[in-house]
Amino acid sequence: MLSFEDITISQQEKYREFLRKSKVAASDYSFINLWGWAKEYGLSWAWDGDLVWIRQSIPAPCMWAPVGPWKDMDWPAVFERPETREFPFTRVSEELIQLWDPALPGRLHTEETREHWDYLYSVVELVELKGNRFHKKKNLLNQFKKKYPYRYREIEPELILKVLALQEEWCAWRDCESIETLAAENRVIKRTIDSWDLLSGIRGAVLTIDEIIVAFTVAEGLTGDILVIHFEKGLPEYTGVYQAINQIFLEHTQGFSLVNREQDLGDEGLRAAKLSYNPTGYIRKYHVRIS
């Protein structure tokens, strides 16, 4: 039987080894996402030979895709065990379905979950912002750079309290406590920032004006040359602040060719914002039942 346990920081490097073997590019499966959102979704994991199984209990029981060397697995043997198909699977990438489908003929029942698709962007495009497609973004970025005497700084321990203060201010402006999705995100951001020194692979930066932080971003290297942006917040009274933190951070971050800016969760405003940056592709995900 699978033995599920809490997701802990002490096992983050062990988990990342399994993640590298599966070549998963979906943001959900980054360690910082798993650990950060574990309390909100009731996530736990089970170590099972070559696979890490992830179980969700909130708002309803389900499984996430197992993490490990997908291409080397004997999937019919894996799913002979009843506990591996006790619950439906969510956040299953198209790449894994392409492996499961021929291995489990006639047993997969899939449903597209557009709200969970990750948005992928070219780092070069988001840094250069060339052409008519990015005209509005480039204009807002230029306004910010010309209007404000900003300073770019990578997040270090001495900035933690100031980053948390900006998050509090942002949440007061958006009235986070009246919107559960924002309230949950606020808790996760605090949990993540508070544990900055314990999380390997985490990176981030702030923009300051007159020593006041006006924007911050938190990111993590995912697999290969993909960088995932977990959080990005800015004070709305500064014109172009979001365009600035996005472009300047990527300009200073080397070694990545693609940016994963996560999903839109079906929010129309968020979807429009993500589409406005002209994604080059998506990580498509599905809900799956295995009979």
Give domain limits for the chain. Answer: 9-117, 119-262
- Looking at the predicted structure, is the pLDDT value of residue 23 above 90? no
> What are the pLDDT digits (tens) for 66-105?
999 999 999 999 999 999 999 999 999 999 999 999 999 9
Region 194-199: mean pLDDT is: 97
> What are the pLDDT digits (tens) for 256-265?
999 999 999 9
Q: Which CATH number fits domain 119-262: 1.10.3720.10, 3.30.2000.20, 3.40.50.300, 3.40.630.30?
A: 3.40.630.30
Q: Does domain 9-117 have CATH number 3.40.50.720?
A: no
> What are the pLDDT digits (tens) for 223-254?
889 999 999 999 999 999 999 999 999 999 99
- Looking at the predicted structure, is the pLDDT value of residue 169 above 90? yes
Whole-number mean pLDDT of the chain? 96
What single string gives the DSSP state of each residue in the chain? ----B---GGGHHHHHHHHHHHT---GGGSHHHHHHHHHHHT-EEEEETTEEEEEE-SSS-EEEPPBS-GGG--HHHHTTSGGGGSS-EEEEEHHHHHHHHHHSTTTEEEEE-GGGPEEEEEHHHHHH--SGGGHHHHHHHHHHHHH--EEEEE--GGGHHHHHHHHHHHHHHHTGGGSHHHHHHHHHHHHHHHTGGG-TTEEEEEEEETTEEEEEEEEEE-STTEEEEEEEEE-TTSTTHHHHHHHHHHHH--S-SEEE----TT-HHHHHHHHTT--SEEE-EEEEEE-
Region 11-40: mean pLDDT is: 95
3-state secondary structure 223-249: CCCEEEEEEEEECCCCCCHHHHHHHHH
User: Do the domains 119-262 and 9-117 match in fold?
Assistant: yes
> What are the pLDDT digits (tens) for 111-144?
999 999 999 999 999 999 999 999 999 999 999 9
* Count of beta carbons in the 10 Å neighbourhood of residue 266: 11
